[in-house]
C-alpha cells in the first residue's frame, strides 16, 4: 500500500501513539489528534508515573546487549514518528519494549503501536522479529511476534489515520464498554454522540438520575 501524500507531495506524519488510539477508538483518535483534547484519568496518571524511568533517555550495555531508553524513531516511507520506551539491540536485531500500565490484552491496541515502532526499526536496517509489551500491572513482559500481517495492519491504520486527520471529521462515538475506561468520556459525551439516538437538545441540559451515571 502506497501512503497518500498531500497535494505538494509531502507525507503527513502520524504519531506512533495514534496507532494505539485508532485501534481503541476512531473517535478518540480524532479528539486527540484533530481537536487536541486530552483528559487525565487515574489510569493515565498511573501511566505517566510508571513511564518516568523509561522516559529518561539513557543507554546501558551488558553482555552483548545494548539497551536504549526513550529512543526517537521514524519511517520516511510510511510517515510515522514517535519514541520507543525501550529498544534492546543485539547485533543487527532490535527488540522494542513498550510499557503499558494496565494488563496486557493479546492482539490489542498496544500491539499495533509496538508494530509501528518495529516498522521504523526495520526501515533503519535492523531485524525485528519480536517485541514486548511490558505490563506494569502484571510486572511482566508479553512477547509479540512482529508478523507481516501485523505490519500490514500498521500500514493500513496509518493510512486510515492520515485520512481522518485530513478530513477533520469526528467519527460517531462507539458508546460501548470501552467508553467506561476512556479518559475523554466527558469531552466525547458518547451517550449523545453515538448517532444512534436523536434527543431534543434540551435533554443535554437535564441531569439524569444519579443511578444512571457510569462511574
Ligand atoms: S468515550 Fe468512547 S466513543 Fe468517546 S472517545 Fe472514548 S472510547 Fe471513543
CA of 108 to the centre of ligand 1 (A): 16
Query: 132 and 118 in contact (C-beta within 8 Å)?
Result: no
Q: Grid coordinates 434527543 are at which residue?
A: 199
pLDDT digits (tens, 9 = 90+) for 93-122: 999 999 998 899 999 999 999 999 999 999
Residue 36, pLDDT score: 84
Q: Buried b / exposed e across 79-114, counting CB within 10 Å, b at 16+?
A: bbebbbbbbbbeeeebbbbbbbbeebeeebbbbbbb
Residue 194, pLDDT score: 85
CA of 65 to the centre of ligand 1 (A): 40
Domains of the chain, CATH where assigned: 14-212 (3.90.320.10)
Query: 3 and 162 in contact (C-beta within 8 Å)?
Result: yes
Query: 131 and 96 in contact (C-beta within 8 Å)?
Result: yes
pLDDT digits (tens, 9 = 90+) for 153-187: 999 999 999 999 888 888 999 899 999 889 899 99
Q: What is the mean pLDDT of residues 57-85?
A: 94
Name the percent of the chain lying above pLDDT 90. 62
31 pLDDT more than 90? yes
Ligand 1 — pocket residues by CB below 6 A?
Answer: 25, 27-28, 31, 173-175, 178-179, 182, 184-185, 188, 190
Ligand 1 site-directed mutation target among 178, 196, 214, most atoms within 8 Å of CB: 178
pLDDT digits (tens, 9 = 90+) for 178-193: 998 898 999 999 988 8
CB atoms within 10 A of CB 43: 13
Query: pTM score, two decimals?
Result: 0.84
CA of 121 to the centre of ligand 1 (A): 31
56 pLDDT more than 90? no
Run of H or E residues at 156: helix 148-167
Label residue 196 by pLDDT band (50, 70, 90).
confident
pLDDT digits (tens, 9 = 90+) for 129-157: 999 999 999 999 999 999 999 999 999 99
Nearest CA, atom 4, ligand 1: 188
Residue 43, pLDDT score: 67
Position in ligand 1 atom list of the atom nearest CA 182: 6
CA angle 24, 174, 33 (to 5 degrees): 50
Ligand 1 site-directed mutation target among 18, 25, 44, most atoms within 8 Å of CB: 25
Residue 42, pLDDT score: 66
65 pLDDT more than 90? yes
Q: What is the mean pLDDT of residues 197-213?
A: 61
198 pLDDT more than 70? no
Using CA atoms, how far apart are residues 39 and 200, in angstroms rounded to an integer? Answer: 27
CA angle 118, 137, 157 (to 5 degrees): 30
CB atoms within 10 A of CB 73: 21
Amino acid at each position: 500500500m502506497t501512503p497518500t501524500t498531500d497535494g505538494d507531495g509531502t507525507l503527513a506524519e502520524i504519531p506512533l501513539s495514534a496507532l494505539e488510539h485508532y485501534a481503541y477508538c476512531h473517535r478518540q483518535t480524532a479528539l486527540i489528534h484533530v481537536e487536541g483534547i486530552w483528559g487525565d484519568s487515574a489510569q493515565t496518571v498511573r501511566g505517566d508515573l510508571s513511564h518516568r524511568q523509561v522516559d529518561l533517555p539513557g543507554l546501558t550495555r551488558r553482555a552483548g546487549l545494548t539497551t536504549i531508553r526513550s529512543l526517537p524513531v521514524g519511517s520516511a516511507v510510511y510517515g510515522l514518528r514517535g519514541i520507543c520506551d525501550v529498544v534492546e539491540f543485539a547485533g543487527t536485531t532490535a527488540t522494542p519494549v513498550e510499557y503499558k500500565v494496565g494488563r496486557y490484552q493479546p492482539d490489542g491496541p498496544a500491539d499495533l503501536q509496538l508494530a509501528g515502532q518495529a516498522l521504523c526499526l526495520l526501515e533503519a536496517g535492523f531485524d525485528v522479529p519480536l517485541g514486548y509489551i511490558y505490563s506494569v500491572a502484571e510486572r511482566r513482559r508479553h512477547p509479540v511476534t512482529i508478523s507481516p500481517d501485523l505490519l500490514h495492519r500498521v500500514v493500513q491504520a496509518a493510512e486510515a489515520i492520515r485520512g481522518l486527520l485530513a478530513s477533520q471529521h469526528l467519527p460517531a462515538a462507539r458508546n460501548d464498554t470501552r467508553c467506561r475506561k476512556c479518559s475523554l468520556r466527558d469531552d466525547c459525551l458518547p451517550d449523545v454522540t453515538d448517532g444512534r439516538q436523536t434527543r431534543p437538545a434540551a435533554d443535554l441540559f437535564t441531569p439524569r438520575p444519579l443511578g444512571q451515571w457510569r462511574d
